[in-house]
Amino acid sequence: MPMSKERNGAVERIRHASWAGLVALGLAFSTLLVPLDQFNWMMQARFANFEASGDIVYVRSNQNLTDENAPERRIALAETLDRLRNAGVDRVYVTMSFDASSTPAADARLRQALNDFEGKAFLVENISSGMNGQLQMTETTPAIGQDIPLVASLRWRNFLGYVWDVPFTVNLNDRQYPSLAASIAGMQQYSGEFRINYGFDLASIPSYRVEDLSANKGPLGIEREIPQELAGKVLVLGSFNRSDAVDPNIPGQMEVPAPMIDIYAAETLKAGYTQRTESQMVALIVLALLFLLSQIGRKAIRYTGYGLLIASLPVALLVTAQMGLMISIVGALVLLGLYGLMRARANWRSNYRMVDADTGLPTFAALENDKTVADTVPAIIVARIHRFEEVRKTLPTELHAEYLLRIVGRLKAAKKDAVIYLGQGHSIAWTFPEKEPALIRDHLEGLRALFSSPLLVGENQVDVGITFGVDITPSPNVARRLAAALDAAERTTETYDPILIAELASDEDLIWNISLQARIDTALSNGEIYTIYQPKVLVRTGELIGVEALVRWRDPVKGLIPPDHFIRQCENAGRMSHLTRHVLAEACRAGNAFAANGLPLAVAVNISATLVHERDVVRMVSEVLAETGFDAQLLTLEITETYRISNHDRAAEVLGELAALGPKISMDDFGVGAASLEALQRLPFHEIKIDRLFTSAIKDDPKALAIVRSVLSLGKDLRIIVVAEGVEDEATLTILRDSGCVVAQGFAISRPISFDEILKFQQLDPQTRKANMV
């Protein structure tokens, strides 16, 4: 059963969501979205405003306490540590690197102060990446660090200067160190890493100066007391001096010392804010919601859902920031952005009627805007579906699209690579590379034969009447050509005129026609008018026995000029004899070239019936044979449009003189119009060619098959050759073989091709050609 318009729209939206999700997830799993993720987390940090636990205190010094040339500073630090221990401080972490020894007394004094904490004073070893990419650690001098517990601070900065992920432990030189943040939080037993949440208010982290905690007397000469609130706290001692080349950044804060990174990390652990949802997971959730929304038929509800989904992302960012949960909405935003672009493009195409909403097929508007059609100027064919509205009224609404698609499917069965365009109501269009009317008619008669059997639409059998209008003018104005083909299709009838070819209509083309005679002479001398050849083969064996020479004109400005057009103009301008002589001479020379290549082929040339009323054609053929030296026994003269022969007695004399020169005389398009039994009886034909009107229909029409078999029997009785032309498919070729047809030509065997391609065609052995034909 066909899908409704709403269902087609839902399928298209799901397809767009799938592609957008695929691309967004691919980007999310790669590193391409990392810069945007950074800004996402920074925004969350700014949204949140958590109070710090207050258990971690930062103590800074404005002096370089590690200066080995200032031992008094180390002694003063030792005295401060003693005071802090006596005040009941729980733990102390010294983040300054004492990598050089000072005086033995100063170093010993500081080491003793650290030892007196009985394992609760830690020295922090700062780890960084060296020039070779290997981790390296600034080690504390043994004079101070001997027997003092060590922790490590490893801060991986990204290209923006931020640290987001911190390890629980650091492995270096076959030794494992607790990270500073994990040790402060008392979680050094864990492994792996966690993400820092920078949502804590910096002002809520207690901070003191070392100088305010030292034994020095204040301005009034009174010794400073250690604040009671430091009892039971964890102190992190560091230097306030900041080096921008080394220290990382904290979102929203300026001039913050590096140890603050570790304090934020420790506060994250203590608060339990280590949960995070990566960009991929959020994108998957949004993709699932998009799938659900895409199936909603009502546009207002669906668009409301889209709006709520988009609005929910910043809301989710804000809410999760307050919850201490870090998420990234970047992948979801990319997904929605891509989906929005795809839907906008689809809506644009729909708004401009480029695509039919019911069937998904391109419309006439798409054909009119197709630059390739404008550049290549193929034939434009418009099919008129008769009784279209009557059928649509009869069928249920849900079967309307299927009815059209069934018609298109049958058209594509004969032209698989064709792009089918839908017009208003009962019109369907496509392009065709060939512009020779005979070939186009052959193609379209084959299509009419395909529609002789009814279509199955749902559970209904529907008869389809189809006729065609064609435009083969060489204009690049696609809209005008489509209108001309459509007009021709509207003037067709199923019984009398099923195929109409539009005439030239533009002023430009009419002006061009005025000078056609001179143009033809120029084209002949410049090689713009040339011949191609369609093979004739023995049906039973596939052996190549001859070719038919066909004329083509490729104008440097207008491109390929349809043969029927310029041939008719040649007749009107009195240049038909001149053109025929050129084609005949080219064909005879090609015949000689075939023979020189070991391929003595019979060559057929079309002769207009308008030329057989005068003996000039006899002289022309005689002269060409003499000039080229071509064997007249291998030449066949195909008389076209015999209905134009008004004087059969005169024509019989001329054709008799032509036959006396050696060529065979063939009657083209036998069975159509005035190509009748009377002409066959009165004129000296050696060959008749069954018109493609009958050949193309034999596999579907018993009458056509009976006519073809009768003609084959007639030829046998008259002892003349019968050629089936317009063989379009393998089934037709098989029927002809079974019916006793000897010679055939048509697209199922080969299209008209160049001289060199004929040689390649012949290189295939007959059995291979036969296999390809069947």
| Confidence bin at 10 (pLDDT 50/70/90) | confident
Say how far apart CA 727 and CA 735 lie, in whole Å: 10
Phi, psi of 533, deg, nearest 5: -135, 135
The helix-helix angle for 104-115 and 71-86 (nearest 10°) equals 20
Phi, psi dihedral angles at 664 (to 5 degrees):
-85, 150
Q: What is the pTM of this model?
A: 0.48
Q: By the 8 A CB rule, do 324 and 273 touch?
A: yes
Residue 662 has pLDDT above 90, yes or no: yes
Token pair for 79: 């005295």
Distance CA 277, CA 281 (A): 6
Residue 216's pLDDT is 63
pLDDT for 654: 93
**Residue type (1 letter), 162:** Y
Out of 16-25, 353-362, 695-704, least confident range: 353-362
Query: For 206-235, how does the pLDDT look when each residue is reduced to its tens digit (9 = 90+)?
Result: 999 888 887 665 554 566 788 888 999 999
The one-letter amino acid code at 706 reads: A
pLDDT tens-digit map of 104-145: 999 999 999 999 999 899 999 888 765 555 777 788 899 998
Cα separation, 415 vs 430, in Å, equals: 10
DSSP string, 684-725: --SEEEE-HHHHTTTTT-HHHHHHHHHHHHHHHHHT-EEEE-
- Distance of CA 86 to CAs 81, 83, 231, 232, 528, Å? 9, 5, 9, 11, 109
pLDDT value of residue 245 = 44
First to last CA, the chain: 35
Q: Name the band, by pLDDT with cuts 50, 70 and 90, for residue 242.
A: very low
